[in-house]
Every structure is written in structure tokens, then in C-alpha cells.
Amino acid sequence: MAEHLTNEQLAENAVKEYNKIKELLAANGGKLTAKDRNAIPQMEMPSRDPKKRAREMGEVALGYTKEMAVVEANRCLQCAKPFCMEGCPVNINIPAFIKEIAAENFKGAVDIIKQTSLLPAICGRVCPQEKQCQGKCTVGKVYKSAEKAVSIGRLERFVADWERENGKVALPECAKATGKKVAIIGAGPAGLTVAADCARAGHEVTVFEAFHKAGGVMMYGIPEFRLPKAIVQSEIDNLKKIGVKFELNFLVGRTNTLEQILTEKGFDAAFVGTGAGLPKFLNIPGENLIGVFSANEYLTRANLMKGYDKEHAATPVYEAKHVVVCGAGNVAMDAARMALRLGAETVDVVYRRTRNEMPARLEEIAHAEEEGIKFRFLENPVEVLGNEEGKVRGVRCLSYELGEPDASGRRSPVAIPGSEHDVECDAMIVALGNGSNPLLVKTTPGLNADNKGHITVDEKQATSHTKVWAGGDIVLGAATVILAMGEGRQAAAAINEYLAK
């Protein structure tokens, strides 16, 4: 099977398939039939050796070779009705960019993507494609599996990396200066998207960021081994080149209020994209013991503050040999895999449902398993156990069975009475999602939010406050990079329309 092949074998097979396609095209007047395309095998993504990478921060997935990308692109059926586009939150013209890759016009492909998405190197790496574009792909439906769909995300990553590595990145053209000023609160994917679109419209844009680095969750949350920070930084540097200003270590609601930014600093419009940074906990006994962390803190220390570089980083990292992670989303996978890289010998992921219900990306689950992460399904902590020093010594769990499906369609976990059992560990990471930090809403009169702290907006992302729009996780709750970007694009269009009037 393909997953047992070495990277060299994968590359050799890709060259063979590439040459076959060239022969078919030459014999058939430059065209492939649907039967020809269906016979092309899916290209696997080369990756680093699991035993080595589990202790290193280097990127795990290595990306397609040119031949792999061209072969994979030729699997696309170029459907008359491209359902894949319906699954993309920013509506990328997916068949068009894949067609250009098949023709080996990589610059043309990335130019098509950038008409609607400004961060293809990032989205190609971290988007949940199997639940979005690839989940709608006709090829995947033929095989009855989103895993067998055309690998849209890997192709997007390939051309974005090709553009950057070959020095072909072109800055967007900006309209003549309008004299209008736009404030962006939060330098995450939503905020950066709005900053780019407003700068292109000729407005003066300033991004206010609470941390000492811009990038939001792409910098502090997603680990280096999944999203190299140099890629995020290059996108931020490109924004600076088109005139976007960044004010770091600026906490809106403390450094200045949003009202002060609009009035005293003279901004004509503002976008709030502060994300969802308030971690949720289990609220069980022992959760305040030394050695219990939110995934937010754990990953921020490692990613943003480079805690893994123990010889040079100023931030301390808690030494633990056996770590339990509670949760089963992408953040839980990131935290579990990071724990290995920070020195843990054993990492258990505890989840009260089964593998079938896990919300994490299939690729992330597979990578975690390859690296030695253990999964304890149908269990959930009810108490954290401590020693005489107030440090974690274990987690008491309850066993579960699956009952009827809940509102999301997933079967609900039902606790089994009397099934308590202890799991020894010396650290626990809670990865159960995040809520909204209430600071900005509380310090901004007239800015409405729902009972969960999410800012309420209309169909154009406008808030209840004049001159203020919002989008991303502060509106959606914890979502994805591409969904945040989609909201950012809508908000930017509305802000540009408002300022034009």
C-alpha cells in the first residue's frame, strides 16, 4: 500500500505516472477521457520519518514534487458544475487553478487562487479540506470517500510554495490613496484578510495586535511542524510592503478602547477580529493543580515563545513524562504531538466518543498515531489527582458508551455508572475549545454580543456599533482559518463600500 512506500518510491511512481499521462496526451490530441482520469492513482504526500519527527519541530508533510502535482491535477474531471467550489468558504475557482497545474502553468494557478484567497500556502496546509472542498468533489463521491477526492489542498500548497520558493510572489496593486483610515483589531486570518482588501482599496490601514507578533492563531496556536512560522511571517511582510502598519503589544480595551481608536486616533472604520482566546475547562476537582494546562497556554508557550528551544527561550516549559490530553479536535492533536516534542515519553488522548466521531482532520489523526500518540476512546476525566506537593499524579476517568445521535448527528456519550478508573500521568492538557474574551465588548458601549460573548453581526458583518464590523472566531466561535478569511472578505467589501460613500 502507498502509505508504506518511502518518499523516494513515491517520487519514482509519480514520475512513471507523469510520463504515462504525457504519452496519453500526445496520442489523443492533448486530451484525457474521464476513463483515463479515473485510472490515475491518487498521489500520496511525502512526509518525514515518524520516529525522528516526533522529537523535532521540522514540518511533517513535505509537499508534492512537480510530477506529483501534475499527476494529481490530472485526476480532476473538470466538472461542468464544480461542487468543490460550493465547499470553499472563499469560493476559489478550484477547477480553473487545477487545470493550470495540469498544464504546468504554476504561476497562472496561484494567480487564480489569489483572486479570492490571500493565504494559499497557509490554507493549503491547515484547512479541513475533507470537510469542505474535497468533501464535495465528484471524484471522491465516485470512490465514496473524501479521502479519495482530488487533493485540492495539497495542490494549493504546491503552487503557493512554488511561487514563494521561485521568487515569483507579486504584490497586489493598490488603488490611489483615499485619505480614509481603517483600524483592524487582531492580526489573525480574519484581520489580515481585511487589512489586505482595505489596503488594496487605497485606505490607510493599521492593525492593532495584543501579542508581540502578528499572525494570531497561525503564530500562537498551530505548531511549527504543521505550519512553519516563516511562511506566516512572509505573508505579514507582504502586507507591510503594500503599506499596512502594525502596532504590536496593543491590547484594545486596555491600551486604548475601541472608542478612543475611532475618535482620538481618527479612524473612519474598524474591524474586530480578536478570535476566540478564552479557554474552556472541564470544571472538575483538581483542575487547579500544578501540571494542568489549557491547550492555549501550552501551545502559545511552545509556538509563539518557542519554549521548545530550551537553551534560548525565556519561557519555562513544564517537564512531564506522561501527558494526558482531553479533547479530540485539531487543537488536541497539536497539543498531544507538541507534548512529545517537549520531552514526554507517553501521550494519551482521552475522548468520550470513538474515533468515528473525532472532529480533528483525518491527516492529523493519522500523523499523531504514526508518532506514537495513544487514544483512549469512550473515557472522560471526572477528577484530576494530585500528590502532596500539589502536582498532578493522575486522572480519574469514567467509561462511556454511545447512545443516540445528538443535534450535530454524532452519537451522544452515555456514562457507565461505577466505571471509574485511574490513569497515571504527571500533566494534563485541556483542549475543549475556546470562548470569546469579553474585554473588548465590555469596554465598548453599544457593541452587542450574544450570551456566549460572540459579537452579533448582520449579513455584511456590520455590528450594532456605527463604523464597526467584525468577523472570524469572535463572531463564529472557534472555527477555521479559511472560514475566518471568508468573513474577513465580506467585512472588507462592506467597509470599502461604506467608505466609498
User: What's the pLDDT tens digit per position in 194-248?
Assistant: 999 999 999 999 999 999 999 999 999 999 999 999 999 999 999 999 999 999 9
Name 309's Cβ contacts closer than 8 Å, sequence gap at least 6.
none
Residue 352: give its domain's CATH number.
3.50.50.60
Question: CA 276 to CA 282: how far, in whole Å?
Answer: 17
Whether 263 and 241 map to the same domain: the answer is yes
Q: Is residue 176 part of a domain?
A: no
Range of the domain at 475: 181-277+435-500
pLDDT at 430 over 70: yes
How confident is the model at residue 1, as a pLDDT? 36
Final residue in a domain of this structure, among 400, 432, 464 = 432
**Residue 286 domain-assigned?**
yes
For the chain, what percent of residues have pLDDT higher than 90?
Answer: 84
Residues 224 and 91 in one domain: no
Assigned domain for 204 exists: yes
The last residue of one of the domains, among 375, 399, 432, is 432
With 0-12 / 13-18 / 19 or more C-beta atoms within 10 angstroms meaning exposed / middle / buried, residue 439 is: middle
Mean pLDDT of the chain: 94
328 and 341 in a single domain? The answer is yes
Does residue 12 sit in the same domain as residue 95? yes
- The reported pLDDT for the residue numbered 408 is 78
Return the higher-pLDDT residue of 311 and 123: 123
Residue 144 has pLDDT above 90, yes or no: no
At 404, the pLDDT band (50, 70, 90 cuts) reads: confident
Residues 204 and 267 in one domain: yes
Give the number of domains in the chain.
Answer: 3
The residue-averaged pLDDT of 258-263 equals: 96
Q: Mean pLDDT throughout 161-184?
A: 95
Is residue 46 situated within a structural domain? yes
Residues 293 and 309 in one domain: yes
Cα(163)–Cα(313) distance, integer angstroms: 32
Dist. CA 136–CA 239, nearest whole Å: 32
Domain C-terminal end among 105, 134, 165: 165
Radius of gyration in angstroms for the set of CA atoms belonging to the chain, rounded to a whole number? 24
Residue 173 placed within a domain? no
pLDDT band with cut points at 50, 70 and 90 for residue 309: confident
Least confident range of 184-198, 223-237, 388-402, 404-418: 404-418
CA distance 61 to 59: 6
**Any domain includes 441:** yes
Residues 16 and 160 in one domain: yes
**258 vs 89, higher pLDDT:** 258
Same domain, 18 and 161: yes
372 and 439 part of one domain = no
pLDDT score of 8 more than 70: yes
What's the pLDDT at 446?
A: 93
145: domain CATH number?
Answer: 1.10.1060.10
Residues 211, 216, 217, 219: is their CA dihedral positive or negative? Answer: negative
- 381-389 average pLDDT score: 97
Answer yes or no: do 18 and 156 share one domain.
Answer: yes
Identify whether 262 is part of a domain: yes
382-399 mean pLDDT: 98
The answer, yes or no, to whether residue 3 has pLDDT greater than 80, is: no
pLDDT score of 385: 98
Report the alpha-carbon angle 311-316-322, nearest 5.
100
Helix (H, G, I), strand (E, B) or coil at 322: strand
For residue 23, the model assigns a pLDDT of 95
Clarify whether residues 354 and 487 are in a common domain: no
For residue 60, pLDDT beyond 70: yes
Write down the pLDDT at residue 2.
Answer: 42
CB neighbour class for 292 (10 Å; exposed up to 12, middle 13-18, buried from 19): buried
In terms of domains, do 330 and 204 share one? Answer: no
Could you give the CA distance from residue 193 to residue 482 in angstroms, rounded to a whole number? 10
Residues 6+ apart with CB under 8 A from 300: 220, 221
